[in-house]
Amino acid sequence: MSQRILPKRILPKRILPKRILIVAVLVAELVSVSATFAAVPADGNGLEQRYGMLVSEDIYPQATPRETIRSIIDAVENANARYVLAHLVSPRHVDKRLGGDQRAFEKLVSGISPSKSRQLTARLEKHIARGQWRISSRIASSEVDGAPRITLERVGKRWFMHNVPLADERLAAKR
User: pLDDT band at residue 153, thresholds of 50, 70 and 90?
Assistant: very high
- 8 Å CB contact between 117 and 76: yes
List, edge to edge, every strand of the sheet that includes 158-161. Answer: 132-135, 139-144, 147-155, 158-161
pLDDT at 108 over 60: yes
Average pLDDT over residues 142-155: 91
Q: How far is CA 88 from CA 37, 55, 63, 93, 149, in A?
A: 20, 9, 11, 11, 17
pLDDT of residue 147: 83
pLDDT at 141 over 70: yes
The residue length of the chain stands at: 175
3-class DSSP state of 7? coil
pLDDT at 32 over 50: no
Q: Assign domain 58-174 to a CATH class.
A: alpha beta
DSSP secondary structure, 18-53, as one string: HHHHHHHHHHHHHHHHHHHHHHS---SSS-SEETTE
User: pLDDT band at residue 99, thresholds of 50, 70 and 90?
Assistant: confident
Averaged pLDDT of the chain:
77
Average pLDDT over residues 88-93: 90
Average pLDDT over residues 17-46: 44
pLDDT, tens only, 55-89: 999 999 999 999 999 999 999 999 899 999 999 99
Provide the 10 A C-beta neighbour count for residue 65.
25
